């Protein structure tokens, strides 16, 4: 059955490696991938978790849980220095490119927000509209395992969806995609294109991507980064130790796209930097929702409902009295 052009959206999953722990040079790579995606006709481009400026691969390789370790302190200090402070304009170049290219962008960053004092970091999924405005920032609810040694727990403020062409787009960070309740929150917001962002790894994406598509009757983009020993740049604190303890491949990608019936649109891509482009058809969502709609006719809100706190969490609420 033919479908209309209004039902179609060209999307891109940019599987790239960061210039690890270098915010400026990693931004250069992100901008290059955005231009590649735009030239391929994409209206939405997605990037992996913590890509800017990079995932904390050092933790499990350098005794990251050791208390008062000078190595961990110097690496954490450098991480904060290279993290993204949105209020300081660190995403301005990405926002400008999104507007210039009319390209909605989902990007995983290490955020160092001023509203939490400016010295803790969060794994955040940033949704930038095709007009260049930041529409939402979702801070990962629960860092996974060793990530808790550097990242702080987020909140529900960013559990939101946004319209991109014919689709309603939402996203979650890495192992949040295993969490049923955040998924349910996005389904209730009308999500029919889910973006799962990962630091990289076929073991994460191969099974879960298709499951999420079948559960949500949605398209699912799993987008990952890459990280190899050769991606560790010169000049990093404890650089020799990092190279000595690094695996040849720490993140092998695995980016892929699944259709609403769980079939592959693009099977997982491993071990290569590549901007993966595909055309999605909203009619396929409507077809699969005929027999199952997780927040619609196949839900029972009279029996089970979810309450979501989307307030941005802050340590202090100031109540100044007018003088």
> How far is C-alpha 65 from the chain's CA centre?
25
Looking at the annotation, which residues are catalytic? 49, 140, 174
Assess whether the previous peptide bond of 200 is cis (omega < 30° from 0).
no
- Residue 301 lies inside a defined structural domain of this protein: no
Taking only the tens of pLDDT, the chain with its 323 residues reads: 557 889 999 999 999 999 999 999 999 999 999 999 999 999 999 999 999 999 999 999 999 999 999 999 999 999 999 999 999 999 999 999 999 999 999 999 999 999 999 999 999 999 999 999 999 999 999 999 999 999 999 999 999 999 999 999 999 999 999 999 999 999 999 999 999 999 999 999 999 999 999 999 999 999 999 999 999 999 999 999 999 999 999 999 999 999 999 999 999 999 999 999 999 999 999 999 999 999 999 999 999 999 999 999 988 888 887 75
From residue 164, how far is each of 67, 106, 131, 224 by CA, in Å?
45, 11, 11, 21
- Residue 196 lies inside a defined structural domain of this protein: yes
Which residues form the domain of 249? 8-288
Rounded Cα distance between 90 and 27, Å, is 9
Q: Which DSSP symbol is given to 322?
A: P
Position 317 scores a pLDDT of 85
CA neighbor of 42 nearest in space, from 197, 189, 221: 221
- Residue 283 lies inside a defined structural domain of this protein: yes
- Residue 323 lies inside a defined structural domain of this protein: no
- Residue 97 lies inside a defined structural domain of this protein: yes
- Residue 307 lies inside a defined structural domain of this protein: no
Tell me, what CATH number does 49's domain have? 3.60.110.10
Q: What angle do CA 197, 198, 202 make, to 5 degrees?
A: 125
Q: Hey, is 45 helix, strand or coil?
A: strand
In the chain, the number of structural domains is 1
In the structure encoding, which two tokens stand for residue 29, read together?
Answer: 């790579």
In the numeric block, the tokens 């808790």 are attached to 148
- Residue 299 lies inside a defined structural domain of this protein: no
- Residue 115 lies inside a defined structural domain of this protein: yes
């Amino acid at each position: 059955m033919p479908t209309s052009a209004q039902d179609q959206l060209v999307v891109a999953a940019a599987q790239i490696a960061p210039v690890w722990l270098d915010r400026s040079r990693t931004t250069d790579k992100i901008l290059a991938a955005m231009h590649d995606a735009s030239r391929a006709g994409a209206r939405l481009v997605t990037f992996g978790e913590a890509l800017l400026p990079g995932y904390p691969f050092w933790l499990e390789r350098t005794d990251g849980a050791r208390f008062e370790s000078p190595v961990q302190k110097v690496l954490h200090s450098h991480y904060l220095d290279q993290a993204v402070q949105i209020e300081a304009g660190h995403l301005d170049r990405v926002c400008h490119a999104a507007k210039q290219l009319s390209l909605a962008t989902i990007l995983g960053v290490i955020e160092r927000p001023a509203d939490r004092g400016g010295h803790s970091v969060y794994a955040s999924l940033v949704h930038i509209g095709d007009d260049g405005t930041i529409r939402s920032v979702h801070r990962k609810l629960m860092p996974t395992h060793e990530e808790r040694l550097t990242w702080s727990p987020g909140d529900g403020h960013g559990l939101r969806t946004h319209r991109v062409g014919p689709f309603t787009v939402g996203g979650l960070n890495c192992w949040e995609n295993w969490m049923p309740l955040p998924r349910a929150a996005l389904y209730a917001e009308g999500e029919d294109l889910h973006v799962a962002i990962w630091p990289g790894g076929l073991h994460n994406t191969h099974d879960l991507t298709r499951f999420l598509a079948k559960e949500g009757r949605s398209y699912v983009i799993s987008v990952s980064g890459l990280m190899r020993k050769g991606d560790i740049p010169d000049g990093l604190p404890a650089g020799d130790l990092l190279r000595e303890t690094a695996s040849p491949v720490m993140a092998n990608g695995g980016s892929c796209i699944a259709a609403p019936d769980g079939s592959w649109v693009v099977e997982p891509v491993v071990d290569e930097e590549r901007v993966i482009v595909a055309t999605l058809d909203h009619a396929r969502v409507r077809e699969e929702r005929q027999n199952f709609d997780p927040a619609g006719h196949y839900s029972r809100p009279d029996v089970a409902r979810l309450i979501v706190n989307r307030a941005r969490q802050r340590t202090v609420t100031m109540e100044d009295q007018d003088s």
